Structure 1
Amino acid sequence: MAESKLKRLVDSPSTPLSVLGFIVAVLCGMVFGMSLEKGKVFLPTVIFSQMLFRQFVMLKMFLCAATSSLITLAFMSGVMPERFESTRRYLIDNDKGFISATVGALILGVGMTLAGSCPGNVIVQLGAGVTNAWIIVVGGLTASVVWGILDKPLVKPMEGRCKPPFRRETVDSYFYKPYWICAMGLAAMCAAVVAVCEYYVPWKDDLPPGVRLDKHSNTPLHPLARAWPPEVAGVLVGVLQWPVRYFFSDGLGSATSYCTITAVPLKAIFGVGKLSERYTDCADQSNWWQVVYLWIGATLGAFLSSYYSGVFNLQDGFHPAMCFFGGFCMLLGSRIAGGCTSGHGISGMAELSLTSLVAVPMMFAGAIATAFILEGANAAPV
């Protein structure tokens, strides 16, 4: 009886965000924002240094978030199989294809290095007081409008001719194995990479300049600590898969929220005829949970975490031109690819989507290549 009452309060894809949904979205966003701030993966220099293999904070947190997501979904597939399968089917059906994912992920990677951020991370940067983060956001919002205009005539026709060159869409269906077996296998591989990185580069030795540990930092989840182990922060992000899928029938993501924000006024001005249908669909009521989760919850979580631990406005952002162009590239790339660092990298990998498993290395390939090119041209921002 209690469960059926709760389900009536839960948001479905066709209903507005309820009061309960709003609260859940804010709380999940606060956990996300606080985790990225405590893990210090939000700092622009950390992201750029990761691409040059000088720091491994980002890799540790990213792989731990993927590991935690895989384990969470493996458990969910056993105790809530119907919700797990319906959500998974919805997300996989939105795959845009192998070529689109490859091209979009490469562009996204270029933007990540130039901006020192990613679509979700930049909102955390706003909350934590990183200068010029707002310029990245403007670049991202601009790109979302450009995608809305170009998607219909240019991008969508390409997708129909470029489906993934796989017999099936997921790892488990490709190998004809149960989801949980494949998920736990991939989780073990990700965890092994993290263990090796931590062994050779302990997290306390890998902190960015300006972060000095305090007495609270010996307690991994202390809210006033200046930094947490990136592994702990990553696990918390991955666990968010459960409430997001249960309450919103969706996966963790960030880039769609930019389109939701810009599509509302442009849909009213231009109508749906001149804009991509997928772009105007972003203004649907079912997508507003992500706006609340990211732009309210994550901002608030990052601000409270950084302010009360004494590290607010810890670091400046990159040059304004790099920030704008980087924000533009990472949003445009994520829309072409059908997912961002969270959408493909955390949720897509957890779905065992073959398209996401192609997009993620392409994303980092674009970011790493850009970082080394800037380094070689003596134009590196760090």
Structure 2
Amino acid sequence: MATTIKSILSGATFGAALIAAGVYSPSVIIGQMRLSDFHMLKTFLAASASSAIAIILTNKYNISSCKARTPATVNLFSPFDGNILGGAALGFGMALTGACPGTLIPQLVAGVRSGPLVLLGGLLGGILFSKFGKPLLGKVRMGDLVDKPTVFQSLEMTQGDATAIYEALCIAVIGSLTRFFPDGEGLLVPSVVGGMLIGVSQGASLLLTGGTLGISGAYEQLGDLFWWAEQSAVEGGKKPRPSIRATSFALGTVLGSWGLFEYLGLTIPSSELEIGPFRAVLGGILLTFGSRIAGGCTSGHGISGMSQLSVASIVTVTSIFGGGVALAALIG
């Protein structure tokens, strides 16, 4: 029970941070994929940079010992092919829906019209992955990629030195983007502040649960639960119920985003985008199926994995934005 409560509290801080940062609006995410609005990228980099500091501090004082993400493979053409293909699919889903597995929850809370259908697609994606996606995942045969999953381990650097370089790089990119693409009007807080708030929620997650942020696992666990219930009902199986631990974090995200949204009296994000039913459901399927093939989503790989300088996370995030930008250019 105590573990569940801590996970809910961790999710609540994350949900509130997403609302405060304003990155849950479909127009913000699709605008980023169209390279016309860089609020998402600035927030993302600030969140990752501040998360890196939180991870180093909690590891130093033995509060957490979270490990960097390792490659995901489907054994087609590369040890990272799961990261590449899954990341691209996730990027496609983001370009179609203006959502990701994490920001979908604040969208539902805010009453974004496409949200329920994207959620339907997300649940279908979790169900499909549970049955058909898991068998696709293989074992990485190159031991060094598992034993040394980070950039600094591969280059034989210290984590502190590598993180300092990463922080400087993030600051430089954020500064350049802010100069040429300043924040628009209507934000609760500047992009950098919003990203730092997400970084604070990363620290809360490490303190409360010992683990980093990540939400796509909840969709997979709900898919596991669906097939368990189906087997129990049809075949009378007596297998133990699968874990739904990740859903407590998702529940907390609902509560945190709803609480801040209502407290501030916010309204539905305005948008001229029209996301039709088929596009919403298909995009939702791609969001969750892709993120699980890749072993994480924009929060798990993008915020948490990048901050640990995981090679797999860097590959995944590159694929997410590459896929999303490419599809956005095709569909307009």
The residue number in structure 2 matching 1:222 is none
CA distance in 1, matches of 2:169, 2:89: 27
Q: For 2:322, give the aligned amino acid.
A: A
Listed as ranges, the matches of 1:50-65 within 5 Å are 50-65=32-47
Matches within 5 A, 1:107-118: 107-118=89-100
Residue 231 of structure 2 corresponds to 270
Decide which moves more: 298-307 or 102-111. 298-307
The alignment-based identity, stated in percent, is: 30
Partner of 1:104: 86
Q: Distance in 1 between matches of 2:178 and 2:101?
A: 26
Q: Give 1:160 shift.
A: 4.5
Equivalences for 1:70-219 in 2 at 5 Å? 70-80=52-62, 83-84=64-65, 87-88=66-67, 91-92=68-69, 95-96=72-73, 97-153=79-135, 155-157=136-138, 159-160=139-140, 168-203=148-183, 206-207=184-185, 211=186
- Is residue 2:200 matched to residue 1:239? yes
- In the alignment, residue 69 of structure 2 is paired with which amino acid? I
Matched residue, 1:311? 266
Q: Distance in 1 between matches of 2:40 and 2:229?
A: 40
Describe the superposition over 1:143-190 as per-residue Cα deviations: whole angstroms up to 9, x where unpaired.
Answer: 11111111354x124x55688979942112111122122122112211
Name the CA distance, whole Å, in 2 between partners of 1:51 and 1:152.
28
Conserved 8 A contact 1:259-1:283: no
Among 304, 307, 314, the alignment partner of 1:350 is 307
CA distance, structure 1, for counterparts of residue 18 and residue 147 of structure 2: 37
2:225, 2:287 → 1: CA distance?
A: 21
Aligned residues: 320
TM-score, normalising length from structure 1?
A: 0.76
Q: 1:306 to 1:167 in 2, by over 3 A?
A: closer
Alignment of 1:14-93 (within 5 A): 18-19=1-2, 21-80=3-62, 83-84=64-65, 87-88=66-67, 91-92=68-69
Residue 255 of structure 2 aligns with an amino acid whose one-letter code is L
- Structure 2: runs of 5 or more not aligned: 74-78
* Mapping 1:216-295, distance limit 5 Å: 227-270=188-231, 283-284=242-243, 288=245, 290-294=246-250
Change (3 A) 1:24 1:136: same
Q: Is the 8 A contact 1:60 1:194 kept in 2?
A: yes
The letter of the residue matching 1:57 is H
3-state DSSP class of the match of 2:69? helix
Shift of 1:200: 2.5
SS at match of 1:240: helix
Question: 1:127–1:301: 8 Å Cα contact kept in structure 2?
Answer: no
State the Cα distance separating 1:113 from its structure 2 match: 0.6
Unaligned runs of 5+ in 1: 1-17, 212-225, 275-279, 376-382
In 2, Cα distance between the equivalents of 1:47 and 1:164? 35
Output the CA distance in 2 between the equivalents of 1:323 and 1:367.
15
Distance 1:130 1:163, change over 3 A: farther
CA distance in 2, matches of 1:160, 1:239: 33
| Range with bigger deviation, 168-177 or 137-146 | 168-177
8 Å CA contact 2:90, 2:286 repeated in 1: yes
CA distance in 2, matches of 1:200, 1:293: 37
Q: Is the 8 A contact 1:99 1:163 kept in 2?
A: no
Equivalent residue number for residue 254 of structure 2: 299
Q: Partner of 2:171: helix, strand, or coil?
A: helix
In 2, Cα distance between equivalents of 1:262 and 1:187: 37
Kept in 1: contact 2:28–2:39 (CA 8 A): yes
Seen in structure 2, the aligned counterparts of structure 1 residues 233 and 143 have a Cα distance that, compared at 3 Å, is: same
Query: How has the CA–CA distance of structure 1 residues 231 and 122 changed in structure 2, closer, same or farther, with 3 Å as cutoff?
Result: same
Residue pair 2:28, 2:37 contacting (<8 A) in 1 also:
yes
Q: Secondary structure at the match of 2:261?
A: helix
Aligned to 2:76: none
1:365, distance to aligned residue in structure 2 (A): 0.3
SS at the partner of 2:298? coil
* Alignment correspondent of 2:282: 325
CA drift at 1:95 = 4.5
Note closer, same or farther for the CA distance 1:160–1:173 as it changes in structure 2 (3 Å cut).
closer
Tell me the amino acid that sits aligned with residue 278 of structure 2.
Answer: A
Report Cα offsets for 1:200-240 as digits up to 9, x if no partner.
3332xx24xxx4xxxxxxxxxxxxxx611121121121233
1:49-70 per-position Cα deviation (integer Å, ceiling 9, x unaligned): 1111211110111001100111
- Structure 2 CA distance for aligned equivalents of residues 321 and 164 of structure 1: 43
